[in-house]
């Protein structure tokens, strides 16, 4: 790479299918950049407990905390935080509401409580929103974002548009009173009961749900601009050369396919691609297997009661390891070919899951190699 | 078959962290039950199409059951189509339904409205479980291949949320009926899938606790991808005593010791899953670097049935 492709970027987004080790790689990239003297914040989403503990996030910090790391040979700093979608949404509302009373009204609305607390949708949106906040924060030169688990690994890119559309109430406004382009939405909606579509919907949802919805959208009146401006800012940033998308995969079939789809989609949509990372890659053996008789002899000498049997199992294990390593190697080659012969960065499969700073240093080293 | 927690339930939700193999587990359960003569449908949600890959099925199965194997059907829930069906069932005046579903603004609204896609999806699954033909249930087993943990839990909770949000009206009534079924331990069983690694196990334990606290029937856990054990404690001590010298022997010994170390870690994760969820996890073996298709599913179903080890050693195709 390796990391040279990422130097000078303001935002690094790690994406890939579930279970490939995105969080570990995000933390590894952040650590590697900090080791090179950058002030880095990594936004993690549901990190493993020991990783969270290593990053100082044991008590679910939504606030960035500085992680103690070794000497960085400069001003390098590593900060970490865990995404808290609800807290981020609440802050956003308080910041953009015209008055404290308006903010209160939104925070107390039942629809809002479900919307902000729901995992589906809001987490993706809030990851993007948190990115906005952190890139404004002068403490950090680089923000590394781990993306939320989703059916589609890029859901979070569409989330801002989807949620702002809903909050802006464009669709509802047009649905409920097609002539109304502006004006006090809450009022209009409450008085739109006579419109045909409204009454059809009301038959299904019951009047109260629609009333809550009108209130909710009414409470957001006047905040739309703030919301859509911020969504637009992130979109611009993520399309600029100051951002880089790192696609992470393991050698398994499904993640590789997903990685290829991600690369295609990111390229088609004009997002800047960073290097691809292949995680948990097993090295090919550099030696042939030992002759069976020599192994049997060595095991018998070490006190094995059934040296033949143990030798056979050992040789079988060696063959299995080689088969896996060959498969991993092939997957890397396949991905490289699909990426136009850009070699993915390989992170080896460590004997123990890298969930402590010492382990992350190994990941960082592999990434920086 | 040896899935006692799930044996007598009709509606099975397969839940777990992304990447643990939920689709493979759903397909394995389906294969095992279909072989035992049950009529099984596996419902895929949120636009996944893993089943067609696993069963090499070229047909698109949006909102229609498609036969994947004898007694085993796939059903891919299409949110747009289901929303339309749902509205049609409640409004009953076709022109009005058409008016709604034809408007793009309604689609924008439907796509972003909190909980609506989930409710419609869950409603479709519920319909499959409730479907009756000539006094008999159409399906003996409805297996739902859920989205990744957080989204999967959200899917299950959506009926409760909606019936709470909408105080009255048809949406509330139906949400309430759905909630009753998905929380009923005689009708529904949730199977949580993990892999023998730290994060999936932690997530499985947390999910089990969260779902139980919410009144959902967590019926089983499944550890997918356990490496068949090849070395034991006495082997490790012998291997540890082999003197250095011949580098090929050293490399072979290291490979065996590493496998043993890995197996212990996996076993610790299995113990943790059992203790953390209060279940006896079913175990599905790792099949090595193979692409999983129907014959691999048959092997996994054998393992689920507790058949004598018919598995090929890992890595030997």
**Percent of chain B scored above 70 by pLDDT?**
91
Average pLDDT, chain A: 81
Would you state the pLDDT for residue A120?
55
Looking at the complex, report in whole angstroms how far the Cα of residue B37 sits from the nearest Cα belonging to chain A.
31
Contacts of A302 in chain B (CB under 8 A): 238-239, 241-243
pLDDT digits (tens, 9 = 90+) for A103-154: 898 888 877 877 776 655 677 778 888 888 899 999 999 999 988 766 666 7
d(CA B181, CA B174): 11
- Beta strands in B61-135, from DSSP E residues, in sequence order: 66-69, 72-76, 132-133
Nearest Cα to Cα of residue A152 among A271, A15, A252, A280: A15
Lowest mean pLDDT among A213-217, A318-322, B21-25: A213-217
* Candidates 3.60.15.10, 3.40.50.300, 3.40.50.850, 1.20.1530.20; CATH matching A3-285+327-368: 3.40.50.300
Return the H-helix or E-strand segment holding B282.
Answer: strand B282-285
| 3-class DSSP state of B190 | strand
- A 120-139 near B (Cβ less than 8 A): 120-121, 123
Nearest Cα to Cα of residue B127 among B162, B178, B170: B178
Return the H-helix or E-strand segment holding A321.
Answer: helix A307-338
Would you state the pLDDT for residue A186?
45
Lowest mean pLDDT among A101-115, A183-197, A270-284, B208-222: A183-197
Mutation target vs B (from A199, A215, A299, A307; most B CBs, 10 A cutoff): A299
Query: Would you place residue B315 in the very low, low, confident or very high pLDDT band (cuts 50, 70, 90)?
Result: very low
Q: In this complex, which of A149, A166, A316 lies closest to B313 when CB atoms are compared?
A: A316
Handedness of CA B83, B89, B91, B92 (dihedral sign): positive
Buried b (16+ CB within 10 A) or exposed e, B124-161: bbbbbbbeeeeeeebbbbbbbbbbbbbbbbbbbbbbbb
d(CA A5, CA A2): 6
Would you state the pLDDT for residue A181?
39
Lowest mean pLDDT among A93-102, A321-330, B54-63: B54-63
User: Dihedral, CA atoms, B186, B187, B193, B198, nearest 10 degrees?
Assistant: -50
Contacts of B207 in chain A (CB under 8 A): none
pLDDT (mean) for B22-47: 93
Contacts of A207 in chain B (CB under 8 A): 169
Partner-chain contact B118 A120, CB within 8 Å: yes
Would you state the pLDDT for residue A325?
94
Residue that has been written with the tokens 């403490």 in this structure: A139
Would you state the pLDDT for residue B214?
94
Would you state the pLDDT for residue B189?
96
Would you state the pLDDT for residue A1?
47
pLDDT (mean) for B91-110: 72
Where exactly are the structural domains of chain A? 3-285+327-368, 292-326
Does the structure show a pLDDT above 60 at B177? yes
**Percent of chain A scored above 70 by pLDDT?**
81
pLDDT greater at residue B273 or residue B8? B273
Question: Any idea how long chain B is?
Answer: 317
d(CA A249, CA B288): 18
Mutation target vs B (from A290, A292, A303, A351; most B CBs, 10 A cutoff): A290
pLDDT (mean) for A158-165: 72
Would you state the pLDDT for residue A56?
66
Contacts of B265 in chain A (CB under 8 A): 352
Looking at the complex, report in whole angstroms how far the Cα of residue B66 sits from the nearest Cα belonging to chain A.
22
Does the structure show a pLDDT above 70 at A170? no
pLDDT greater at residue B139 or residue B90? B139
Looking at the DSSP bridge assignments, the partners of residue B190 are B13, B218
Q: In this complex, which of A119, A162, A310 lies closest to B150 when CB atoms are compared?
A: A119
Looking at the complex, report in whole angstroms how far the Cα of residue A35 sits from the nearest Cα belonging to chain B.
26
pLDDT greater at residue B186 or residue B4? B186
Q: How far is CA A254 from the centre of its chain?
A: 18
d(CA A201, CA A208): 12
Strands A11-15 and B11-16: unpaired
In the numeric block, which tokens belong to residue B200? 């999936």
pLDDT (mean) for A18-27: 89
Lowest mean pLDDT among A206-210, A259-263, A276-280, A320-324: A206-210
Nearest Cα to Cα of residue A335 among A284, A264, A245: A264
Note the ipTM here: 0.85
Q: Which residue of chain A has the CA closest to B289?
A: A324
Partner-chain contact A295 B256, CB within 8 Å: no
Nearest Cα to Cα of residue B228 among B171, B167, B152, B303: B303
Lowest mean pLDDT among A36-40, A340-344, B313-317: B313-317
d(CA A356, CA A69): 11
Domain B4-229+278-304 fold: Rossmann fold (3.40.50)
pLDDT greater at residue B245 or residue A210? B245
Q: Which residue of chain B has the CA closest to A315?
A: B252
Does the structure show a pLDDT above 60 at B227? yes
Lowest mean pLDDT among A80-94, A118-132, A281-295, B272-286: A118-132
Would you state the pLDDT for residue A173?
55
Contacts of A355 in chain B (CB under 8 A): 198
d(CA B69, CA B90): 35
Where exactly are the structural domains of chain B? 4-229+278-304
pLDDT digits (tens, 9 = 90+) for A184-212: 444 444 444 345 666 666 777 777 777 77
Spatial strand order in the sheet of B218-226: B66-69, B72-76, B40-44, B141-145, B11-16, B188-194, B218-226, B282-285
Would you state the pLDDT for residue B2?
46
Would you state the pLDDT for residue B108?
62
In the numeric block, which tokens belong to residue B263? 């197996």
Would you state the pLDDT for residue A196?
62
pLDDT digits (tens, 9 = 90+) for B110-124: 665 667 788 889 999
pLDDT greater at residue A147 or residue B65? B65
Contacts of B17 in chain A (CB under 8 A): 18-19, 149
DSSP string of B5-55, one letter each residue: GGTT-SEEEEEE-TTS-HHHHHHHHHHHHHHTT--EEEEE-TT--HHHHHT
Looking at the DSSP bridge assignments, the partners of residue B130 are none
Would you state the pLDDT for residue A182?
41
Query: Would you place residue A155 in the very low, low, confident or very high pLDDT band (cuts 50, 70, 90)?
Result: confident
Looking at the complex, report in whole angstroms how far the Cα of residue A110 sits from the nearest Cα belonging to chain B.
7
pLDDT greater at residue A217 or residue A366? A366
Average pLDDT, chain B: 87
Return the H-helix or E-strand segment holding A142.
Answer: strand A142-146
Nearest Cα to Cα of residue A201 among B109, B21, B112, B127: B109
Q: In this complex, which of A46, A290, A319 lies closest to B315 when CB atoms are compared?
A: A319
In the numeric block, which tokens belong to residue A311? 């030798």
Half-sphere CA count of A369, side-chain side, radius 13 A: 14
pLDDT (mean) for B7-11: 88
Would you state the pLDDT for residue A26?
93
Partner-chain contact B230 A327, CB within 8 Å: no
d(CA A219, CA A230): 19
Looking at the DSSP bridge assignments, the partners of residue B194 are B223
């Amino acid at each position: 790479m390796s990391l040279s492709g990422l130097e000078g970027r303001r935002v690094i987004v790690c994406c890939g299918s579930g279970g490939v080790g995105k969080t570990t790689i995000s933390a590894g990239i952040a650590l590697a950049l900090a080791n090179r003297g950058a002030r880095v914040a990594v936004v993690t989403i549901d990190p493993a407990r020991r990783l969270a503990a290593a990053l100082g996030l044991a008590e679910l910090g939504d606030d960035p905390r500085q992680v103690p790391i070794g000497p960085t040979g400069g001003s390098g700093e590593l900060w970490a935080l865990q995404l808290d979608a609800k807290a981020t949404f609440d802050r956003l509302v308080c910041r953009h509401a015209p008055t404290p009373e308006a903010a209160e009204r939104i925070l107390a609305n039942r629809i809002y409580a479900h919307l902000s607390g729901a995992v589906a949708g809001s987490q993706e949106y809030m990851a993007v929103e948190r990115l906005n906040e952190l890139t404004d924060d002068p403490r950090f030169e680089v923000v590394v974002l781990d993306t939320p688990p989703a059916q589609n690994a890029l859901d979070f890119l569409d989330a801002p548009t989807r949620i702002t559309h809903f909050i802006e109430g464009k669709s509802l406004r047009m649905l409920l009173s097609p002539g109304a382009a502006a004006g006090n939405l809450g009022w209009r909606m409450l008085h739109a009961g006579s419109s045909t579509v409204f009454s059809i919907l009301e038959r299904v949802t019951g009047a109260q749900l629609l009333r809550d919805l009108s209130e909710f959208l009414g409470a957001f009146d006047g905040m739309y601009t703030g919301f859509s401006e911020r969504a637009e800012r992130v979109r611009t940033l993520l399309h600029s050369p100051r951002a880089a998308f790192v696609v992470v995969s393991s050698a398994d079939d499904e993640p590789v396919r997903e990685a290829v789809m991600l690369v295609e989609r990111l390229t088609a949509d004009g997002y800047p691609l960073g290097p691809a990372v292949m995680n948990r890659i097993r090295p090919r053996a550099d030696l042939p297997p030992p002759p069976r008789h020599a192994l049997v002899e060595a095991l018998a000498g070490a006190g094995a009661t059934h040296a033949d049997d143990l030798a056979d199992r050992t040789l079988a294990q060696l063959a299995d390891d080689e088969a896996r390593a060959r498969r991993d190697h092939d997957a890397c080659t396949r991905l490289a070919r699909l990426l136009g012969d850009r070699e993915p960065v390989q992170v080896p499969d460590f004997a123990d899951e890298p969930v402590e700073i010492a382990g992350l240093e190994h990941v960082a080293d592999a990434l920086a190699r | 078959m040896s899935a006692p927690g799930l044996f007598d339930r009709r509606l099975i939700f397969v839940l777990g962290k992304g990447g643990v193999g939920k689709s493979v587990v759903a397909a394995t359960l389906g294969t095992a039950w279909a072989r035992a003569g049950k009529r099984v449908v596996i419902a895929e949600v949120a636009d996944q199409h893993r089943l067609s890959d696993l069963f090499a099925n070229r047909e698109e199965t949006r909102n229609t059951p498609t036969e994947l194997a004898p007694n085993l059907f796939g059903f891919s829930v299409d949110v747009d189509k289901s929303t339309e069906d749902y509205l049609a069932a409640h409004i009953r005046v076709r022109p009005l339904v058409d008016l709604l579903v034809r408007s793009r603004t309604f689609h924008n609204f439907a796509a972003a409205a909190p909980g609506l896609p989930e409710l419609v999806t869950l409603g479709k699954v519920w319909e499959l479980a409730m479907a009756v033909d000539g006094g008999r249930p159409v399906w003996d087993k409805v297996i739902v291949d859920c989205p990744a943990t957080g989204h999967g839990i959200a899917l299950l909770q959506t009926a409760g949320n909606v019936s709470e949000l909408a105080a009255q009206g048809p949406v509330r009534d139906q949400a309430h009926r759905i909630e009753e079924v998905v929380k009923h331990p005689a009708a529904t069983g949730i199977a949580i899938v993990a892999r023998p690694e730290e994060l999936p196990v932690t997530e499985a334990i947390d999910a089990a606790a969260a779902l139980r606290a919410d009144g959902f029937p967590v019926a089983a856990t499944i550890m997918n991808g356990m490496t068949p054990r090849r070395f034991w404690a006495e082997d490790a001590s012998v291997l540890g005593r082999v003197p250095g010298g011949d580098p090929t022997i050293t490399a072979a010994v290291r490979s065996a010791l590493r496998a043993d170390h890995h197996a212990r870690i996996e076993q610790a994760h299995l113990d943790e899953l059992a203790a953390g969820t209060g279940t006896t996890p079913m175990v599905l073996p790792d099949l090595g670097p193979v692409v999983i298709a129907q014959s691999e599913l048959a092997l996994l179903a054998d393992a689920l049935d507790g058949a004598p080890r018919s598995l090929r050693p890992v890595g030997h195709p």
